[in-house]
Chain A
């Protein structure tokens, strides 16, 4: 599913702009606003995050969300990904932005 996410990294070849997710594709960025549209596998999106994305649709890479992505939801998504990939501690901390 397409989600508008926060960019991390600094845009160099050693630390390119990226999304804090284990798997994604189709990245379209706005380096100025630090946002990107990203195609995230549905299996990597927890139901509560999917509900948040559906409740606050985004149409561009500039307009801020009407409400910030809740920290509790961010923590829950990180734990969901840690369980799904089973690679130890929560490695990814994605933020809908």
Chain B
């Protein structure tokens, strides 16, 4: 008698046509309104685990008037609802003495149509700020 098992184990996500997605925006920017520097959208039939992300800010040259500078990693669904799981902010005019950095490790899932965005903003007057936003993810068959 032939015995057939219907409980075939599904391969782990990293064995389902997986590939690594790394996106980084590292630059020195003058004051600017909030701007998306990077967007990555998960295509149909795929899922993506955000495994690690980081943000950093450092004043490069002093502003005349310090405003809020920020680096953000944003996750957004198809309804454009979003969460900012990690962001760095500074309101100081001190130059180079302090780095405002954060990092996050986990396994946040993005489904088809959802997006990871890297955003910067700086409302100071004058000066420049080094912004870093980055994430590393694994994209795989859903």
Contacts and interface: CB of A to CB of B under 8 A. Distances in A.
Interface in B1-57: 23, 25, 32-41, 43-45
Q: Which of A12, A19, A22 has the most CB of B within 10 A?
A: A22
Nearest to A92: B41
B80 to A, nearest CB: 9
Contacts of B132: none
Contact of B38 (A9, A17, A25, A86): A25
A47 interface: no
Contact of A16 (B36, B44, B115): B36
A12 B41 contact: no
Contacts of B39: 18-19, 21-25
B113 to A, nearest CB: 5
A22 B46 CA distance: 14
The interface residues of chain A, by DSSP majority, are classed as loop
Interface residues of B, number: 24
B41 A16 contact: no
Nearest to B35: A17
The interface residues of chain B, by DSSP majority, are classed as strand
A13 interface: yes
Contact of B121 (A13, A85, A91): A13
Interface of A: 9, 11-13, 15-19, 21-27, 29, 31, 84-87, 91
24 contacts: A9-B36, A11-B33, A12-B34, A13-B70, A13-B119, A16-B33, A18-B39, A19-B36, A19-B39, A23-B39, A25-B23, A25-B37, A25-B38, A26-B38, A27-B25, A27-B36, A31-B32, A31-B33, A85-B41, A85-B44, A86-B44, A87-B43, A87-B78, A91-B113
Given A16-B36, A19-B36, A87-B43, 18 more contacts: A9-B34, A9-B36, A13-B70, A15-B34, A16-B35, A16-B121, A19-B39, A22-B39, A23-B39, A23-B41, A25-B37, A25-B39, A27-B25, A31-B32, A31-B33, A84-B43, A85-B44, A86-B43
